[in-house]
Amino acid sequence: MKTVSASAPGKIILLGEHAVVYDQPAVAVPVSQVQATAWITSAPDAAPESIFINAPQVQISSPINELAPDQPLAAAVWLALSRLHITQPPAFTLTLQSDIPIAAGLGSGAATSVAIIRALSRFFNQSLPEEEVSALAFEVEKIHHGHPSGIDNTVITWEKPVFYQKNLPVELIDIPAPLTFVIANTGISAPTAKIVMDVRRRYSEAPVMFEQIFSSIGEISRQGVQAIRRGNLEELGSLMNANQDRLEEIGVSSPELDHLIASARQAGAWGAKLSGAGKGGNMIALVRAEDASKISDSLREAGAVQTFTTTVQPSPCLLGEK
Ligand code: PMV
């Protein structure tokens, strides 16, 4: 019996969500401390070509043929097999496990797809370049989201901070200093596809105003990437706050998010904002490492159902530089 596995991280969007759907740049970083993992195990005793999917967290335990072809887990398998030119696969079981909260703006769907695609390419001893892993995961994202920008599959595949703009080559950001974030969950489930559609409806009612807001967010992302490269975290925090103001203007924040964001700022964060589609899910606060546990405590007191701290480590090539 042969078993292979692959994992992929969660992600947060530092700057630029929603505007990125409208061709503006955005900045995202991986959250390596939470992972989705896929295991492929050969099933020599099962009927040839039978594929079984076991994903207890989403209550799926089923032969793939009993799932709709566009069910996201099945779609990731079919797309990967097709790209790997496997027309008559040997019987196998796909098992999934993830500690990335679902529908919370942390990229759980894209991470699961990337893990499945990588595990299958390993199982069939074929290497797929990052661009292709990301492109296949993007196809699955379209099923989850309708009109995704592609930022989730990109940052999750490369597992590095990215400056991302639709239809342009991905720019990896080298960071000179660690970035520490406290991430706090409102506990409110936030379906990205619906929120993105609501924004599209409001955009169509006031296109000039929305274009202005999106281009101001794009400018914030450009300034943000410079602040990150200079290691100026105070400025990055202010830019996150300015971005949150714009997100409130387009109607994707919520009273619960606003409350957690205010609490994090009051407790000493450099900056705080929602991350992802909004209306619920998670908020993020950029903090001094030594303040993280104090700010986490304040967020839980303010009603967060879960908090965790993540640090994006400096790029190895910049370690030791000022
Ligand atoms: O909710 P998430 O983490 O999938 O993030 C969505 C980010 C949006 O900009 C709102 C949509 C997108 O496809 O970029």
- Copy the structure tokens of residue 135: 């492109």
pLDDT band at 320 (very low <50, low <70, confident <90, very high): very low
- Residue 316 CA: distances (Å) to CA of 31, 33, 149, 173, 228: 17, 18, 29, 12, 15
Cα–Cα dist 216/204, whole Å: 18
In a 3-state reduction of DSSP, which class is residue 247? helix
Indicate if ligand 1 lies below 6 Å from the C-beta of 101: no
Q: What is the pLDDT of residue 65?
A: 95
- Is 144's C-beta closer than 6 angstroms to any atom of ligand 1? no
Q: Is the CB of 279 under 6 A from ligand 1?
A: no
pLDDT surpasses 80 at 319: no
pLDDT at 321: 42
DSSP string, 153-219: HHHHHHTS-EEE-TTS--EEPP-SS-EEEEEEE-S----HHHHHHHHHHHHHHSHHHHHHHHHHHHH
Does the pTM surpass 0.85? The reply is yes
Greatest Cα-to-Cα distance within the chain, rounded to the nearest angstrom:
62
Q: Which atom of ligand 1 is nearest to the CA of 195?
A: 10
Residue 288: alpha-carbon gap to chain centroid: 23
Q: Is the CB of 21 under 6 A from ligand 1?
A: yes
The answer, yes or no, to whether any atom of ligand 1 lies below 6 A from the CB of 277, is yes
pLDDT at 315 over 90: no
pLDDT tens digits for range 174-227: 999 999 999 999 999 888 889 999 999 999 999 999 999 999 999 999 999 999
Question: pLDDT category, 1, cuts 50, 70, 90?
Answer: confident
Q: Which atom of ligand 1 is nearest to the CA of 151?
A: 14
The residues assigned a catalytic role are 152
Quote the pLDDT of residue 48: 78
Answer positive or negative: Cα dihedral of 29, 119, 103, 72: positive
Provide the pLDDT confidence category of residue 277 given band limits of 50, 70 and 90.
Answer: very high
Atom of ligand 1 nearest to the CA of 281: 1
Interval between CA 196 and ligand 1 midpoint (Å) = 8
What is the signed CA dihedral for 287, 98, 17, 136, rounded to 10 degrees?
140
191 Cα: distance to centroid of ligand 1 (angstroms): 10
- CA triplet 51, 57, 58: central angle to 5 degrees? 70
Give the pLDDT score at 317. 58
When pLDDT is averaged across residues 124-148 and rounded to a whole number, the result is 92
Average pLDDT over residues 259-274: 98
Contacts of 290 (CB under 8 A, 6+ apart): none
Average pLDDT over residues 19-48: 95
**DSSP secondary structure code for residue 104 in this structure:** S
**What is the token pair recorded at 311?**
């640090």
Mean pLDDT of 279-289: 96
Which residues are registered as beta bridge partners of 41?
A: 3, 93
CA distance 143 to 193: 10
Say whether pLDDT at 322 is over 90.
no
Say if CB 178 and CB 289 are below 8 A apart.
yes
Higher pLDDT, 272 or 48: 272
Is residue 95 within 8 A of residue 51, CB to CB? The reply is no
The answer to whether residues 46 and 89 touch, using CB atoms and an 8 Å cutoff, is: no
For residue 98, list its beta bridge partners: 36
Provide the pLDDT for residue 318: 54
> What percentage of residues in the chain have a pLDDT greater than 90?
90
Res. 303: pLDDT tops 50 = yes
Mean pLDDT over the full length of the chain? 94
Q: Which amino acid is at 33?
A: Q
Confidence check: pLDDT of 127 > 80: yes
CA distance 241 to 168: 27
Collect all residues with Cβ–Cβ distance below 8 Å to 248 and sequence separation of at least 6: 258
pLDDT score of 16 more than 80: yes
Is the confidence at residue 18, as pLDDT, over 70?
A: yes
Report pLDDT digits (tens) over 64-105.
999 999 999 999 999 999 999 999 999 999 999 999 988 778
Best residue among 112, 113, 142, 152 to mutate for probing ligand 1, ranked by most atoms within 8 Å of CB: 152
Percent of the chain with pLDDT over 70: 98
The mean pLDDT of 241-266, rounded to a whole number, is 98
Q: Is the CB of 192 under 6 A from ligand 1?
A: yes
